[in-house]
Amino acid sequence: MSKILITGANKGIGFETARRLVAEGHTIYLGSRDAERGRRAADEVGARAIQLDVIDDESVNAAVGVIRAEGGLDVLINNAGIQAEMGDGGVIGAAGLTAEIMRETFETNVFGVVRVLHAFLPLLQQSEAPVVVNVSSGLASLAGVTTPGSPLYQYPGVAYPASKTAVNMLTIQYAKAFPEIRINSVEPGYTKTDLNNYSGHQTVAEAAEIIVRMAQIGADGPTGGYFDINGTLPW
Ligand SMILES: NC(=O)c1ccc[n+]([C@@H]2O[C@H](COP(=O)([O-])OP(=O)(O)OC[C@H]3O[C@@H](n4cnc5c(N)ncnc54)[C@H](OP(=O)(O)O)[C@@H]3O)[C@@H](O)[C@H]2O)c1
């Protein structure tokens, strides 16, 4: 059984992933930037709440201290994410994109992942079978968004897909740098959550499936890959 941290797990896909992994018998640290919302969510599924704001060094370092003191970490699921370009009128495309929207998006989706990875790497390296799951998106796929006729091609947003493409690059480069750690990107699928004002067509149960699977790959599992529930995706 593994000790698993999930960032941004007080709701949505992360919360469902926590529920599933607790049921599998793992020790789950349910990360939430708001301590009270995290405590309520953790109580509901039988996880341990941990305050963790991925854009705040102090918060991340404090979480490392707590988890280190309790025995370390085997699996990190970088799930926290935002879609800052979802305006009232729908997704903001290139015409409306500002540097501020881009910065806000990268702050959480990219720099947040780097901050959390950097802080938890020493603990992961002490695990016998360390695993990282980076929750990416199908929209990260350059192959997908350049294939006319594909639903990905139609998506007008810039900041969110760019941030997830950057997450995929993190997966590739960290996997090469740390061959002893299984590090993969996953695409949970278009899912009804707050992130997209519930416009998705999947349930969180369906979305959590690939995250739960990749969180539990053994030491002989793949690394440096990009997967959805049906297998490998094109970068
Ligand atoms: N829904 C989809 O269709 C879809 C598709 C592909 C990939 N994804 C990815 O799946 C992941 C989960 O998204 P979701 O759909 O479940 O969205 P969600 O319901 O909006 O959940 C996002 C979670 O991230 C947290 N979060 C945001 N900023 C944070 C920060 N600075 N520090 C810590 N936590 C933070 C949120 O916390 P608060 O409650 O405090 O805001 C929330 O717990 C994201 O990485 C998203 O990009 C989603």
Summarised one tens digit per residue, pLDDT across range 17-75 is: 999 999 999 999 999 999 999 999 999 999 999 999 999 999 999 999 999 999 999 99
Cα–Cα distance, 167 to 145 (Å, whole number): 16
With a Cβ cut-off of 6 Å, ligand 1 is lined by 7-8, 10-14, 33-34, 52-55, 79-82, 108, 112, 135, 137, 187-188, 190-191, 193-196, 200
Mutate to test the pocket of ligand 1, among 193, 197, 212 (most ligand atoms within 8 A of CB): 193
Contact present, 211 and 189 (Cβ < 8 Å): no
Q: For a substitution probing ligand 1, which of 37, 109, 186, 195 has the most ligand atoms within 8 Å of its CB?
A: 195
Q: Residue 201: what are its φ and ψ, rounded to 5°?
A: -110, -5
Instruction: Look at residues 75, 67, 73, 26 and name the one whose alpha carbon lies nearest to residue 47.
Output: 26
Burial class (CB in 10 A: 0-12, 13-18, 19+), 72: middle
Taking the whole predicted model, whether its pTM rises above 0.95 is answered as yes
d(CA 121, CA 43): 27
pLDDT at 88 over 70: no
CATH architecture of 3-232: 3-Layer(aba) Sandwich (3.40)
Q: What is the pLDDT of residues 152-176, one digit of tens each?
A: 999 999 999 999 999 999 999 999 9
